[in-house]
Structure 1
């Protein structure tokens, strides 16, 4: 089984994939340094599944990844939550006082911005991946550069932990989606969650009328956000996550929605992931 991740070994995508596919005997993780490359790999059938982060408790939704999903006909087969604990990692001969540059993925830098602002005269540099940033320090012998990554990445690449738990809030987690191609999607009998996308007319109350159907059928809307529609200024698509206890009620609500919302699409029904202890 080939599963694509964004990042390298000891990245948080690596941890998420291993957690979700922990019972897979033949798991092979395929590394990609960007999300577009990751989804291209799934589309070209080089991968069986792709694991992609979409939300962090501190930095919020990764809207660009929802935009990528709009451009691909993929389905969500599951989700996994990973507790995120960030560390400042440096070369074995470095000290915090000598650090001039801190590198990491932009989402990681956002999650640690309170601590990073306390470091005097340090330049923040965005990179493709947390673990790759850590690996580069060793490969390039960068004694004045630190990386924001997991302690596991420090252990994997032989780095010194300069400071642990530098995330702005300890209640920090990231939600990852597990994607497959539409033709490979199989309905999950225990599904109790779905992710949908739709648009509404630019009329007063149009969104409220759509959302009211979820209340009528006792469906829990766990998330909603809007995304600009390319080529149509001031128009937005809405991405919504739903959870339900009655599949019949959910099915009825979706049928109602399909007849009234514009450009409705479903990314699939799946089982909600186990929440991490914070």
Structure 2
């Protein structure tokens, strides 16, 4: 029997989509828990190609929603960062139209990833005056998500990569001279900042036992690559290892602070469910 959900004002659904599971949360602004885990559906991708993975995600999503009465609910999808692309775009000189910026983003995408942008949906904070960042999501995957949502009467509000949800949530809290990062599944997605402006986004594996020494060396290396001074502070969100958040022991280390707090019960959630809650405030 489906589980019936009575929707109150300010309530919505969030669906996390990774390469191994989909997860369903009910979130609320005013009533009840901030986020409640409703269900999760793991899966094994068929084959190694992207189309097979998208098919497996669609099957898992339908199985996830089949046990829930979600008709008419608004839903936001959060995609694992490995399912999307994020890159920097330099606007062409004297760009005057949105079409100019879209063409520049598509050209840069092709140069970085070696494939045309036609099969990807590109979104960005378009800016003709200075470099900006764009995100791309596979059109076949988006079609799969939208079709499954329509079959169950969901109203899709937005689809965003995981890092984008975190950046949108926390960018206003990042201090001058600091860099920002998100840790999820032993991966640090690092926003290299020049003042308040994004300079680069880097995905860095976090080795077992990573500590303040590893963090300082990593940040200094990334600063050299970007031609910038090392940050005075790193502000992290997500699953931050305790060793990284310890106070800096000497002047050679770079202080690290954690933004926000875990949601109630989050310590028992799987990686896919934590993904679904991306960008939510505790």
* TM-score between both structures, scaled by the size of structure 1: 0.26
* TM-score between both structures, scaled by the size of structure 2: 0.25
Which structure exhibits the higher relative contact order, with contacts defined as CA atoms closer than 8 Å and separated by 6 or more residues? 1
